[in-house]
Amino acid sequence: MDTKEKLKKILIDDLNLEELTPEDIDDNAPLFGEGLGLDSLDAVELVVIIQKHFGIEIKNMEEGRVAFQSIEALAAYIDTRMESA
The span from the CA of 50 to the CA of 56, in Å, is 6
Note whether 21 binds another protein by CB under 8 A: no
Binding piece for another protein, criterion CB under 8 A, among 26-34, 50-58, 65-73, 76-84: 50-58
Based on C-alpha coordinates, what's the Rg of the chain?
12
Note whether 24 binds another protein by CB under 8 A: no
Note whether 56 binds another protein by CB under 8 A: no
The span from the CA of 8 to the CA of 21, in Å, is 8
Note whether 34 binds another protein by CB under 8 A: no
Kindly tell me the number of DSSP H helices and DSSP E strands found in the chain. Answer: 4, 0
**Which residues sit at the interface with another protein, rule CB under 8 A?**
15-19, 37, 39-42, 44-45, 47-48, 51-52, 57, 60-61
